[in-house]
């Protein structure tokens, strides 16, 4: 199949693009290079077609794609706090993608976020009442509602995947917006102590990037019409437990610095109820936190060196 991955030079998008290429698909990527870099394609750089620009510019490529995997979305809450106008870009680009899909009968799979569950007690289900908490999560909810509308009005096949705390190799280009697993690893590599907000007992459903890639491929193969699915392990670990696992993998004791949490509307707990994704997509995460950390350390990147 001819597939476009938006944000395909970013962290998750590049992993998806490489997996699709490995499975024999004709893969192109479009990326604004906001947090992406060409090096994330690794040995496939030059073998996957790369276009530079915003996701909504896919019309200008002059190509007909059978499917679009949309990862090219500003992916961190602080980005929106610094610039709320990013919301208009997110919605504008997504409408452009949906209009393209309507015309070309393309299937769409896109990245939503577990952050929409802020304030919802775990395990968090897709049918939970979603409170308004910040600009970032509102953008994802708007996208989900637009997707449902395009499915109802025009029959566009579109699936939203709510990712839970994705981590893995090749997050360097995300810098301060990377997952805490990677950020803490970088800090420890520099001989410094990681900083934890609060007491470290806040929890995350840490999900390894390869499991997220698998969820995208399962959604692409399915015949869902419209659907929203959690993508997580269905297990949570505290930040303290994550730091302990990181220290064990590195063979050293890590002494975090604890400070008062400066973030308003901070997400305290995430844990996916994965029953719907398991039933409808056949998805089940395979990689534990300890195994995921080991894979980062073994990866041929600067994250795994030192």
Buried b (16+ CB within 10 A) or exposed e, 106-130: bbbbbbbbbbbbbebebbbebeeeb
Q: Kindly report the CA angle at 49 between 45 and 51, in degrees rounded to 5?
A: 105
Question: Closest Cα partner for 249 from 306, 286, 291?
Answer: 291
Give SS3 for 16: helix
Burial of 297 (0-12, 13-18, 19+ CB in 10 A): middle
Interatomic CA distance for residues 61 and 46, integer angstroms: 17
Query: Does the active-site annotation cover 197?
Result: no
For residue 32, what are the CA distances in angstroms to 2, 16, 55, 56, 269? 21, 17, 8, 10, 32
Give SS3 for 231: strand
Catalytic site residue from 74, 80, 100, 136: 136
Active site residues per annotation: 136
């Amino acid at each position: 199949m001819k597939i476009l991955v938006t944000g395909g030079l970013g962290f998750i998008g590049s992993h998806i693009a490489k997996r699709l290429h490995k499975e024999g698909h004709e893969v192109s990527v479009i990326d604004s290079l906001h947090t992406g870099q060409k090096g994330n394609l690794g040995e496939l750089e030059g073998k996957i077609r790369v276009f530079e620009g915003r996701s909504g510019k896919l019309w200008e490529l002059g190509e007909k794609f059978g499917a679009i995997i949309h990862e090219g979305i500003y992916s961190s809450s602080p980005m929106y706090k610094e610039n709320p106008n990013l919301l208009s870009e997110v919605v504008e680009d997504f409408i452009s993608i949906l209009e393209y899909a309507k015309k070309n009968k393309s299937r769409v799979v896109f990245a939503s976020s577990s952050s929409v569950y802020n304030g919802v007690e775990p395990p968090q289900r897709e049918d939970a009442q979603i409170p308004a908490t910040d600009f970032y999560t509102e953008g994802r909810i708007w996208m989900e509602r637009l997707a449902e509308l395009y499915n109802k009005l025009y029959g566009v096949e579109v699936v939203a995947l709510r990712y839970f705390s994705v981590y893995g190799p090749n997050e360097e280009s995300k810098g301060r917006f990377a997952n805490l697993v990677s950020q803490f690893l970088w800090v420890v590599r520099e001989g410094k102590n990681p900083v934890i907000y609060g007491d470290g007992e806040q929890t995350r459903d840490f999900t390894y990037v390869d499991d997220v890639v698998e969820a995208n491929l399962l959604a692409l193969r399915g015949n869902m019409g419209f659907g929203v699915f959690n993508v997580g392990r269905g297990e949570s670990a505290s930040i303290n437990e994550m730091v302990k696992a990181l220290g064990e993998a590195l063979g050293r004791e890590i002494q975090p610095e604890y400070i008062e949490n400066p973030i308003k509307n901070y997400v305290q707990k995430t844990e996916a109820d994965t029953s719907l994704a398991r039933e409808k997509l056949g998805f089940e995460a395979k990689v534990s936190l300890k195994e995921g950390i080991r894979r980062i350390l073994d990866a041929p990147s600067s994250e795994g060196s030192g």
